[in-house]
Structure 1
Amino acid sequence: MITAIGFIALGFAAMEFSGWFIHKYLMHGPLWMIHKTHHQPSKTFFELNDLFSVLFGSIALILIFTGVESLDYRFWMGVGISLYGVLYFVLHDVLVHRRLKWFDRPRNTFLKGIFKAHQAHHRTNQKEDAVSFGLFVVPKKFFKNEEN
């Protein structure tokens, strides 16, 4: 069980790091034509940028399906990636962007920091000059000045 928890945590952490890297260097780089739909006002529920979620979800499913028979590391890493995806959806799409209106603005210090960091990221709708590319690991400065 400890090994399973370790691989779940590894899958989760790998998503935060790879998500940051992919967001900064690919989405705000050569894949900007897809990602820019996330930085522009949308008239529809879905945006082209949602293809990235399909890609990451597919990787998680492949890992789960290839590891389910023996419940090996692939299964547990797929679970970790899936857990990250669910929390990403709730924090990013529901709480921050309000694609579903389930929650009010966050009051929790940690969630407020994530909210502020993502607002800072969206201050520009350009490929360059964006800041804060992670979801859970954000610069400390976004957790200061709590009156906002």
Structure 2
Amino acid sequence: MIEAIGFTILGFAIMELSGWAIHKYLMHGPLWMIHKTHHQPSKYAFELNDLFSLLFGSIAVLLIFLGVGNLDYRFWIGIGISLYGMLYFFLHDVLIHRRLKWFQKPKNNFLKGIFRAHQAHHRTNKKDDAVSFGLFVVPKEYFKEEEK
């Protein structure tokens, strides 16, 4: 049981760390043509950038499929990636970008910090001027309360 929890946490952590690197160096690099759709206003439910979610989701499904027979490390890492993906959807797509209008702006300090960091990331629609590339791990400066 401890092993399963550890591999699930590992899968989640791998997604945050690799997600940060992929976002900074690939999405804001050679894959900008796909990712820039996320930095532009859209009136559609889906954007080309959603292909990245399909890719990460496919990796999770493959790992779960390969490890389900023995419930080995692949299964639990796939579960961790899937949990990350679900939280990403609710936090990024629903709460921050409001692609589905389920919740109001966050009131929780942690969620407000994530919200501010993502707003800072979107202050530009250029490939090279963006800041704050993680989703859950963001610079401390975004957790400071704003002056009133």
- Give the TM interval when normalised to the shorter protein: over 0.9
TM-score, normalising length from structure 2? 0.98
Distance 2:90 2:14 in 1: 19
> Are residues 1:144 and 2:144 paired?
yes
1:107-147 Cα deviation digits (max 9, x unpaired): 00000000000000000000011000000000000000245
Instruction: Using the TM superposition, give the Cα deviation of residue 43 of structure 1 relative to its aligned residue in structure 2, in angstroms.
Output: 1.4
> Are residues 1:92 and 2:92 paired?
yes
TM-score, normalising length from structure 1? 0.98
Unaligned stretches of 5+ in structure 1?
Answer: none
| CA RMSD across the alignment | 0.9
Matched residue type, 1:82: S
Distance 2:74 2:27 in 1: 26
Paired residues for 1:10-49 under 5 Å: 10-49=10-49
Matched residue type, 1:102: W
> Are residues 1:133 and 2:133 paired?
yes
Distance 1:138 1:89 in 2: 17
Unaligned stretches of 5+ in structure 2?
Answer: none
Distance 1:79 1:42 in 2: 31
**What SS does the corresponding residue of 1:114 show, helix, strand or coil?**
helix
